[in-house]
Structure 1
């Protein structure tokens, strides 16, 4: 049995004719001890998906589908059970550690809090465990008495990871955990995450706009566009040989080490993802797609086999459909 199974997950904000679809029928699976990366531009539904996994969305959000954590449906849990699962079964590392930590409490106390509430540890036991967790993420135990503003950005992010590990969860969801960090600290945080996954056998969902980071860190990679997964497969395969035009565009947008041409002229993608409240008909990517066909504006495409390793892509070209003429996509 998989650690995490997402089946037909939909998230909609609002009701009636004005309802806005933010996540549209996502299916993903994660095994214990492995890492799943989720990539896409801002506005594609990545963070909404992350928050939906633990039902952390506002009351205006309506969820449908199934999110199985160790075989138990998170979306159907009662509040008391959900409250326990959020720390002991799964935890989340939010982007922007300075905004997630309490500025007026020492970091040791913040790490100890879930241990006191969910593990019923004594105060002394919680303090000892907090010190152990700090050392586990590469910070000296003596920093437990520091306030968040006394730490660097990388150190605060390590504190967030220590908090996420406090109750020994089976799953960690990390939403842009290296945002705004310099490249050296970013590399350290990513290596730390990789080590913890390997040593503790936890499952990790890592969300980022940076395809290169995910390809270097994750086992599998899912690319989201306009609220749905348009490509999924082995992380390195999706990065190096994406089958969907959007996956190729994301990969090409990052300069490649050792490739002077990509540094001088990185290939971006004109335009922006569509407004979820006004999605285009057919394939939602077709207005920006350089290889769109006339039929792409009329019919959306399901995920299809695109290569070995369960590589899937939602593109008409993957199925080898007959060319019926361009649809005005960008050259």
Structure 2
């Protein structure tokens, strides 16, 4: 174990190659995650959140171009040989995917799926010890240990998501990436899964990256937030401050999209953003958000802003923040 942050991402760039041309999905993202800290990544679909998460553990399709560096425990994941990379996955960093029904093997019992990484990485001495550990993990995520004999289709959506969390924790990783793990769940089950992740993070001292398009969810489970748009981070800061007092117009639009509980006017007349994020293959000149921004000026169409100080422990990539006059 080295000193410094658990995870250090520096100038990460990811480009997919399609018949129609190159698609720059992540364009120069940098951040660090301290041990035991949690970072929330927000933004609309297509802004690069999941691509960046998959790049951290090198889960992108073959042929994808990835530049920059991803230091996990001081070692560059992007430069690792296959053997070293296999040793890092599950034991150092693990991921919880969005669709549990698609992530689980439908013809294999969940106990066997949870124990597989333990046996592969030899974190348990025998199948019997692994089975005991599986029961412990299921109980930690709120399921009876005897559910290990069930098949995925015999569980509810919330239970399957808990199984994915148990699987991700099987080899005691120090980094957990949760990629929209509650999107397919109803509100009550979503709240239960969020509370579970928050509890496990504290109990295990996990560092966590939580990805979703829902800013309100991130304020409940994350210390810091980073908002992504068109493959770049456009605002970052402490979660409560960023949600309640955003500096970037895009963050303001995301926050305004959520109705105020108890206010019928906000429910009947929701605000937010019109249109969609730009096609990565045809990014606009200047600030990529300017075609949707109500505050855009002529200079926004010509200059692409970098992240600049926007208050205490806050940064935003907006010319109006750099020069409020």
Cross-structure match for 2:267: 263
Cross-structure match for 2:70: 67
Q: CA distance change for structure 1 residues 197 and 320 in 2, over 3 Å: closer, same or farther?
A: same
Cross-structure match for 2:198: 194
Mapped pair 1:34 → 2:37: yes
Q: Which runs of 5+ in 2 are unaligned?
A: none
Task: Provide, for residues 188-210 of structure 1, a one-character-per-residue CA deviation record: whole Å limited to 9, x for no partner.
Answer: 00000001111111100000010
3-state SS of the aligned residue for 2:9?
strand
- Using structure 1 for the length normalisation, give the TM-score: 0.95
Query: 1:87-236 residue pairs with structure 2 within 5 A?
Result: 87-119=90-122, 121=124, 122-236=126-240
Report the Cα offset of residue 59 of structure 1. 1.0
Mapped pair 1:253 → 2:257: yes
Report the Cα offset of residue 268 of structure 1. 2.1
Report the Cα offset of residue 119 of structure 1. 2.0
Q: Distance in 2 between matches of 1:257 and 1:34?
A: 29
Please say if residues 170 and 203 of structure 1, whose CA atoms lie closer than 8 Å, have aligned partners that are also in contact. yes
Q: Distance in 2 between matches of 1:120 and 1:44?
A: 37
Q: Distance in 2 between matches of 1:16 and 1:137?
A: 44
Please say if residues 119 and 167 of structure 1, whose CA atoms lie closer than 8 Å, have aligned partners that are also in contact. no
Please say if residues 101 and 160 of structure 2, whose CA atoms lie closer than 8 Å, have aligned partners that are also in contact. yes
Cross-structure match for 1:3: 6
Mapped pair 1:46 → 2:68: no
Q: Distance in 1 between matches of 2:83 and 2:261?
A: 49
Report the Cα offset of residue 72 of structure 1. 0.8
Report the Cα offset of residue 66 of structure 1. 0.9
Consecutive aligned runs of 4 or more in structure 1 exceeding 4 Å deviation: none
**Of 27, 41, 51, the match for 1:24:** 27
Cross-structure match for 1:80: 83
Cross-structure match for 2:294: 290
Q: Distance in 2 between matches of 1:138 and 1:60?
A: 40
3-state SS of the aligned residue for 2:305?
coil
Mapped pair 1:317 → 2:320: yes
3-state SS of the aligned residue for 1:115?
helix
Please say if residues 174 and 206 of structure 1, whose CA atoms lie closer than 8 Å, have aligned partners that are also in contact. yes
Count of residues in Structure 1 that have an aligned counterpart in Structure 2: 321
Q: CA distance change for structure 1 residues 16 and 179 in 2, over 3 Å: closer, same or farther?
A: closer
Task: Provide, for residues 290-331 of structure 1, a one-character-per-residue CA deviation record: whole Å limited to 9, x for no partner.
Answer: 1001010111001011111x1110001111254xxxxxxxxx
3-state SS of the aligned residue for 1:213?
helix
3-state SS of the aligned residue for 1:155?
helix
- Using structure 2 for the length normalisation, give the TM-score: 0.97
Q: Which runs of 5+ in 1 are unaligned?
A: 323-331
Which range is displaced more, 292-301 or 259-268? 259-268
Task: Provide, for residues 109-133 of structure 1, a one-character-per-residue CA deviation record: whole Å limited to 9, x for no partner.
Answer: 1100001100253110110000100
Report the Cα offset of residue 16 of structure 1. 11
